[in-house]
Copies of this chain bind each other. A is one copy, B any other.
Amino acid sequence: MEKNIIISSRIRLARNIDGQFFTDKIDNKSAISLLSDVFNSLGDDFTCLKTKEISNEDKESYIEKHLISKDLLDHANISGVALSEDSSVSIMVNEEDHIRLQCILDGLNLKKAYDIINDIDTELSSNLNYAFDKKLGYITACPGNLGTGMRASVMMFLPALTMTNNIGKVANSIGKMGLCIRGAYGEGTGALGDLYQISNQSTLGKSEVEIIQIVESTVLKVVDLEKEARERLMEIKGDEIYDNAMRAYGILTNCYKLSSREFLNYVSTLKLGIGVGVIKVIDEKIVNDLFSSVMPATLNKLAGRILSEEDRDKYRAQYVNEILKDTKI
């Protein structure tokens, strides 16, 4: 069931070059030279792109996939990104910090993600002179990232804790351990799709390995809480959960229009059915991969043109119809 509850793991490191102003104050020449230095220090496995050379469609699509940030676009003249072939690793240059290294992997994989990103970081550090203080650790543009400069986060699917109104309780108890939980989509309107991100808040005073251990063990505790909540729900209204999941499947495989909000709701209902075992699918990854495939810019890329909102809802529906049609066993 972990596969159903834990969607993906992400490690991000913030690094800056010693003796240079932070991105907000750096002069263009130094910034561009810094960008070259980073790109040149990376192996052939990376596709290095200057932000200003990326098409608008790709930019939006990369943002949706969390491969780049809006901050990177704000420094479009001097910034760039290096992407690994499978896009699991992205290295942004001249974002808020000079360098932001990130690795996203499916499931609970913080250690592996850290190992991958740590290797690249070690490689880079041999060519670049990182700003590092023996007492404070890595120096970052925002004091909140000082120390390890690391953010370890895990995307979780928590429908039962949401339905039973227990997310607040979870937030309080993990807050005491220096972690936080927040909705992965649409923070203002509650967590759409019952998707949440759990991550460390403080980067100071603990080693990378310790932070990863705390996040992982907390995630596993939340998995247990979600499992318990699901068991209770199944006892009280198992038929309803099955019925709702089947209806969601029926809608997702037949609808002619589908907004992203509806998509998130129905996929959540379907995923809960998969999670509690009443619905069987060939591979749940097919369902999880939909989250990024049906976002607006990614749909534009798939369609090969800029879609109006109405056309996008139709294109999303058609895409989801096709993908899910033969996924249920």
Contacts and interface: CB of A to CB of B under 8 A. Distances in A.
Interface of A: 239-240, 242-243, 246-247, 249-257, 310, 314, 317
A239 B253 contact: no
A328 to B, nearest CB: 9
A246 B250 CA distance: 9
A243 B254 CA distance: 8
A117 to B, nearest CB: 42
- State how many copies of this chain the complex holds: 2
A257 B241 CA distance: 11
Contacts of A317: 243
B239 A250 contact: no
A314 B239 CA distance: 9
A308 to B, nearest CB: 12
B247 A251 contact: yes
A250 B243 contact: no
Contacts of A252: 250
A83 to B, nearest CB: 37
Contact of A254 (B246, B310, B314): B246
Contacts of A257: 239-240, 243
Ranked nearest first, the 8 interchain pairs of A and B with the lowest CB-CB distance are A250-B250, A250-B254, A243-B256, A246-B254, A243-B257, A250-B251, A247-B251, A246-B256
A279 to B, nearest CB: 10
A243 B317 CA distance: 10
A314 B310 CA distance: 36
A250 B250 CA distance: 4
